[in-house]
Structure 1
Amino acid sequence: MFVPGVLGSDKTTVSVGTGNTEFYPLYGSVGNIFNSTRRAHRDGLSVVATRDYSGSAAFRKFRRQLFHSSLNRILQPLKPHMTVPRVTRCADGHFRRVIYGLGPYIADYPEQALLTSIVQGWCPVCLSPPDNLDSPSGRRSHEHTDALLEGCTLKELWDDFGIVGDLIPFTTGFPRADIHELISMDLLHQIIKGTFKDHVVEWVEEYIRGTHETAEADRILADIDRRIAITTPFPGLRHFYTGRGYKQWTGNDSKGLMKVYLPAIAGHVPSTVVKAVADVIEFCYLVRRSVINEDTLVSIDAAVARFHAHREIFRATSRPDGFSLPRQHSITHYRRLIQNFGAPNGLCSSITESKHIKAVKRPYRRTNHNRALSQMLLTNQRLDKLAAARPNDENLDAGAIDGPTCIGKVKLAKSYVRKVPRNVHELAEYLEQPRLCELIRRFLFDQLNPASPVPGGRAALDRCPEFSTERVFIFNSARAVFYAPSDMSGVGGMHHERIRATKSWYRGPPRYDCVFLEHDKDAAGFRGLHAARVRLFLRFKFRGVEYPCVLIHWFSARGDSPCPDTGMWIVTPDSERNGRPSLAVVHLDALLRGAHLIGVAGKDFIPVHHFDFSDSLDAFKAFYVNKYADHHAHEIAF
């Protein structure tokens, strides 16, 4: 049995007051690993520069080599069993002969350059020149570097190949270990924060400022912020109350912006700019899937090719020197990395970025800041013992649910709304839904006459069952549980979310969410779905049978294909001939999950005052079906 160790590191500064202590905490994870190695991973590496030598080339070389030597020393306990099997008890209780190895290494680009001993600006896995990174080239390897060391000077290695030739990589001496092959993808820093937030979003702003007068550019950018701020709420969606106006962006902020940014710029910039942004987001969601097949790989290649073509529009305003950016260039290697390591499924240094807060920064704050390292190590040891004493104390993420695979269900909330009428006619008056009784009768006609050629919506009302004395219970929400392994999910791949229909959400304005309903299992993507807005969750008994239902407002797709610029479907709310909204009562089982709709603003500007996110679903005439709300929506609403 071969067990590769997945490694990750993320440079951090813990001395906030003076800023002179840099830590490189190393994190590792395999099924079974020696405790000494686990502790070494958590301890991290501390590098302190002194004023006398911090600027010298010799000291910089010393620091880089110290980093590699420390990693090599940390991993030494594994080395004997990289060639000789070790009998190890596995998680299933069985003993197996295990061969250990070094697996993927997750790191941001500056650390990738340090790990692979290359010059900043070069690619850590290929030999493309820094002024044309996307050009075809050969791959880096230890063998290639060793051959160059025999015939080139250190200066030639630096200038012609981007190699720091006087460093010994930490993988030297380990079997089956080539750091250039072990460098993994980093979705957070390379794609989400790098290509999307730091590159494309900034380029869009520079394009707007470069093609408009200052006052008009400020007006457009302010409207983009307002569009982002009024985005309708959705489970797990980051709400940007002031748009993009943040000085310090976290990884979650960048992920949240990616979900709502595309509709915000549509109409204010040319379609080529919108397509360039859409290509980056589409690429990110494709490589993030938990299951990637050959068709997905083809789609990934197509997204990269489209992005390279569409980004040329930014050359005049933002990138006159070209697009040789290491983080952006990394997307060209993702297909090979996926084929080597498998589906990344969110693999990125955000894992280690969150860990170093717990393992380094918080323990540092508990010290007296005098020779803090030993105090930090002691704190971590004690925290580990406390965690081992209560292994079940961890709380699961709100979005993850344990359960059987591929079984989904929508259930009403456990508690119904109290102090409201139970009679359907009084309830209709209370809810300002005068057609509630009629719609329930038409629903019952469909339930009692499934083979009728005339649906309940078109049947004569006098043919529908009478419904007047039954008690009706209403609910503020329902809980959808569905199979979504690409999102935060339980062991069985199950994810849950809350769908709301309430007159007041957190004592504020009303909230009536949107949903997907399945209508054609054989149609692909959104063609097999309906979009609707929930107006009421209700439950009643009729002739001894209990019916959990939902009152919905239907939406219809505009056209037979998605928007060519954004790649999202556009829907409009349905109306009847007399102008009334097209409502219906359907069984709760017809609901698939929640849907996120974002208003299509086009070239119009959002009012500055008296317009809130709670008004969005009532104010717009058309809506984008946001397939980027989460990864499951991206898989079903394409």
Structure 2
Amino acid sequence: MPPREHSPTQVENWGIDKQDDAGFVPEEGTWVDMGHLFQTFHPHMTGCKCDVNSTFINQDVPPLPRTNAPSTDWMPYNDRVKFKTAEFLFKCNQMSAKQINTLLDLWAATLIKHNTIDATPLGDVPWKMFSYDVWYRDPLQIVHNMLVNPAFDRGIKYSLYHDYTSNNKQYWKYLMSGDWAWNQADLIAKNQETYGSTFVPLIIGSDKTVVSVATGQIEYRPLYLSIGNIHNSRSLAKIFESVKPFMETPDVMHFPDCHFRRTVYGLGPYIADYPEQVLLSGIVQNWCPRCLANSKDLDGVHTELLIEQLTYKQVWQEYSIIGDLVPFTNDYPRVDIHELLLPDLLHQIIKGTFKDHLVDWVENYLNITHGARCAAKIMDDIDRRYVSYCIFAGFQQWTGDDSKALMKVYLAAIEGHVPQDMVCTFGAFLDFCYIVQCKALTETDLVQIQDALDHFHKYQEIFKATGTVTTFSLPRQHSLCHYILLIRLFGAPNGLCSSITESKHIKAVKEPWHHSSRFKALGQMLLTNQHLDKLAAACMDFEARGMLHGSCLSEALQELQRYVCTLGVELNLLHFPLIIQEFIHDQQHLDNPNPPKYDPMTAQLFLGKLTIFNSAAALFYAPSNLSGTGGMHQEHIRATPSWHGGPRRNDCIFANVGTNLDSHMGGLAVARVLCFFSFSNRTSHYPCTIVHWYSHVLKGRNPDTGVYIVTPTTNDDDTPDVSIIHVDSIFHAAHLIPVYGSDFIPIISLHDSYDMFNSYYVNKYADHHSFEIA
């Protein structure tokens, strides 16, 4: 079964397929075949190439060289070792300037001086300050640095477009494909001077963070900036004033492909948690910053946007808007702060609706229904269910305060302890949550989102009926109603979430603070950030010139070899030589449509050496998961006799055993990996794995939990159903959760879960890829 997210084919020049002296702009409705989807481009904001004087050029002309510097020029670092030393000490080890100087004194060498980083010209955007401790860097210069970064070449959109599937259904993925960017382009295009320009929307994010419990909880409010072309108070008005002139008049910019383009900027989506949204929009707490829903009726469905031309008295009494507080966007063209504020996946759905509402409600229900003592026993059993789950290849063992991890396993943990409508509430909510977090969404997905939301609103009434809660009028929960509209406006919300800004807190605030002197720390922290930016810019420049290929030192791989019979004894598989014999027979006849029947008496027997591995790494395209460059994700599937010095660990997998789409999970089967090994036979090399198969208990999904149930398979003689498969048959890691039922369980090791129960849920909530598969 293919994943939901497909990798679209690159289209050079994004729809510009011919040109004249002024440059060619495709007509409205131009369609480009992308294999599995089609694109239509905006007729005016097309990202045509120009020269430094803003004159359009031939669109096929090659770019100028990125730099005239030779591949041996490491300026100002002198050589590669000195650059890598600076990068290691300052970025990886995060050593302070004083410690670096001490180290160099001890070395008595001239490897590198700390001020070499200061001398790096790339990525240099100085800090400025106004009022009381408000520091900022010119966003226009920051965007300039981003747009010339060679790392973004082939990963940047120069024109606005809409994606459509082959059946003419709209397809939302990136910000530049949403209706908001298209509507912005319509407004910009009223100025003929902007014809053929590139639209660059600025994505802003702010999120309060705290450091140093010992010194009184110092609060910082970092402001983050990105641009929507890349494949996530009045002081704000001051910070962005350098961008304002170029929101209507083009700025000529140098882009990652080394071409110049006319560029028009715009203030785009603002990523912030609900308290921050209250401040930005000038509303009163507990009201919605996007619509006219009354604070006492947020559990209803409201989609009307805030209206204009109301008196202060009206907006205060009827809509709780503080009329004399002017949003920072007030004097900027084409900006409505209420439109740009996005519901936040992390704080409003995962930590808000799930952890702070639903999980707490379950505990409240248990206390109300069973009393404190009995409820505590049930909660202890739920906790034991948490720690009994086997570790999954996609994540490590979780803790109680990890809301994202808790979502993966909570449904199975509470089943049997709460009414079935509560289980269905969580099932509907998790379906909603996982669908909206997908990297790409179609109109069919929007229907599924609405269906999941309707079921969530239906089943959550059990919490009112049991007296657990009295109202669902909660701003964070109300935000679920806006997701379909916002997906149409801004694309898939997975890339516009405060988890992005929250992850930046560590590198931008907390680590620099811990490596400061703690006295007047802010200036030191900002200087650290500036140094890190310079190192990153230098690294990108050296990489683009082919100067960082390979590594300074290489590592040796250690492999452990055993004989077939020895491995068979260790795995308690006495017929292992016959299993590997059958595997070789099948591999030798893969291309034969009528292969000879396997005969153990005549098939070739292999008794040679095997190379054993404790894990296998899978690299695949899964941009809805937390992933790296280009949406690629890597996971390790483990089969090791000892995990971190403790018991063995054997992960489960989805294996590709056929293409019958009428079967469970599109022909994918569930199995447990017993061992990874490889061997050579004649001229062929076989990387493979021994697996224990699982079979489905039901013909379909469990009607209550909405997930599949499997059980370990045995042969007629009650021995485990074991086979050898090629590693290419492994599709993805699988996570199984025991079906606990209503019985209490003892304290067990998480490593024993796969051996102690008769049936297991195939956890579709383990990650986004599992959600698509199962």
> The TM-score by the shorter chain falls in which range?
0.7 to 0.9
C-alpha displacement of 1:523: 1.4
Residue type of the alignment partner of 2:504: K
Paired-residue identity, % = 50
Q: 1:544 to 1:204 in 2, by over 3 A?
A: same
Distance 2:647 2:542 in 1: 36
Q: 2:627 aligns with which of 458, 472, 489?
A: 489
Q: How does 1:57-68 map to 2 (within 5 A)?
A: 68=233
Q: Using a 3 Å threshold, how does the CA distance of structure 1 residues 448 and 333 change in structure 2: closer, same or farther?
A: same
Matched, 1:133 2:283: no
Instruction: Confirm whether residue 427 of structure 1 aligns to residue 562 of structure 2.
Output: no
For residues 123-272 of structure 1, what are the structure 2 equivalents within 5 Å? 123-137=288-302, 139-141=304-306, 144-145=307-308, 147-149=309-311, 152-153=312-313, 156-240=314-398, 244=400, 249=401, 253-272=402-421
Distance 1:542 1:195, change over 3 A: same
CA distance in 2, matches of 1:504, 1:393: 42
Shift of 1:378: 4.1
CA apart distance, 1:477? 2.0
Residues matched between the structures, number: 561
Deviations 1:552-606 (A, max 9, x none): 1111112221122222111111111211111112222222122111111111211
What is the alpha-carbon distance in structure 1 between the residues aligned to residue 604 and residue 516 of structure 2? 74
Distance of aligned partners of 1:176 and 1:93 in 2 relative to their CA distance in 1, 3 Å threshold:
same
CA distance in 2, matches of 1:545, 1:577: 33
Aligned partner of 2:772: which letter? Answer: E
Aligned residue runs from structure 1 range 157-556, under 5 A? 157-240=315-398, 244=400, 249=401, 253-317=402-466, 320-365=469-514, 372-391=521-540, 415-418=558-561, 420=562, 422=563, 424-449=564-589, 461-463=600-602, 465-521=603-659, 523=661, 526-556=665-695
Work out the CA distance in 2 between the residues paired with 1:534 and 1:28: 44
Following the alignment from structure 1 to structure 2, what is the Cα–Cα distance between the partners of residues 318 and 468?
67
The equivalent residue for 1:38 is none
Q: Structure 1 residues 31, 516: CA separation in 2 closer, same or farther (over 3 Å shift)?
A: closer
Give me the whole-angstrom Cα distance separating, in 2, the residues matched to 1:469 and 1:380: 59
- Corresponding residue number in structure 2 for 1:601: 740
Of 626, 634, 637, the residue aligned with 2:763 is 626
Matches of 1:468 and 1:17, distance apart in 2: 65
Structure 1 residue 276: Cα displacement? 0.9
**Alignment-mate amino acid for residue 388 of structure 2:** I
Deviation at 1:487, TM superposition (A): 1.8
SS at match of 2:386: helix
Aligned AA (1:624): Y
> Does the aligned pair in 2 maintain the 1:127–1:139 contact within 8 Å?
yes
Q: 1:346 to 1:97 in 2, by over 3 A?
A: closer
Query: 1:462 deviation in Å?
Result: 2.4
Which residue identity is paired with 1:511? R
| Post-superposition offset of 1:548 | 2.3
Please give the secondary structure, in 2, of the residue aligned with 1:213.
helix
Give the 3-state SS of the residue equivalent to 1:315 in structure 2.
Answer: helix
Contact 1:134 1:332 in 2 (8 A): no
- State the distance in 2 between where 1:20 and 1:472 align: 57
Residues 191-235 of structure 1: CA deviation (Å, up to 9, x unaligned): 100011111111111112221133321111101101101111123
SS at structure 2 position matched to 1:299: helix
Choose which of 220, 237, 243 in structure 2 pairs with 1:23.
220
Asked if 1 retains the 8 angstrom alpha-carbon contact of 2:693 and 2:713, the reply is yes
Kindly provide the amino acid, as one letter, of the partner of residue 237 in structure 1: F
Separation in 2, partners of 1:633, 1:414:
31
Bigger RCO (CA 8 Å, 6+ sep): 2
User: Cα deviations across residues 504-536 of structure 1 (Å, max 9, x unaligned)?
Assistant: 223221111111111333517714210011112
Candidates 694, 706, 711, aligned match of 1:567: 706
CA RMSD of aligned residues (A): 2.7
**What's the CA shift for 1:352?**
1.6
Would you say the 8 A contact 2:393–2:651 is kept in 1?
no
Residue deviations 1:230-278 (CA, integer Å, cap 9, x gap) = 11112342413xx63xxxx3xxx11111111111111221221111112
Structure 2: distance between partners of 1:504 and 1:528: 32
Deviation at 1:384, TM superposition (A): 3.6
Question: Would you say the 8 A contact 2:615–2:640 is kept in 1?
Answer: yes
Once residues 670 and 217 of structure 2 are traced to their aligned partners in structure 1, the CA distance between those partners, rounded to angstroms, is 55
Distance of 1:588 and 1:468 partners within structure 2: 19
Q: Tell me: CA distance 1:504–1:32, structure 2 relative to 1, closer, same or farther (3 Å).
A: closer
2:235 to 70, 75, 81: 70
1:90 to partner: Cα distance: 1.3
Partners of 2:596 and 2:765 in 1: CA distance:
34
Q: Please say if residues 206 and 318 of structure 1, whose CA atoms lie closer than 8 Å, have aligned partners that are also in contact.
A: no
Q: How far did 1:161 drift?
A: 1.0
Q: CA deviation at 1:11?
A: 2.2
Aligned to 2:750: 613
- Counterpart CA distance in 2 for 1:117 and 1:516 is 50
CA contact (8 A) 2:653 2:733 kept: yes
Q: Are the structure 2 counterparts of residues 443 and 382 from structure 1 closer, same or farther at C-alpha, using a change threshold of 3 Å?
A: closer
Partner AA of 2:649 in structure 1: R
What SS does the corresponding residue of 1:212 show, helix, strand or coil? helix
For structure 1, the residue ranges without an aligned partner over 5 or more in a row are 34-67, 395-412
Counterpart CA distance in 2 for 1:117 and 1:318 is: 34
Partner SS, residue 127 of structure 1:
coil
User: What is the distance in 1 between the residues matched to 2:736 and 2:631?
Assistant: 25
Distance 1:586 1:441 in 2: 12
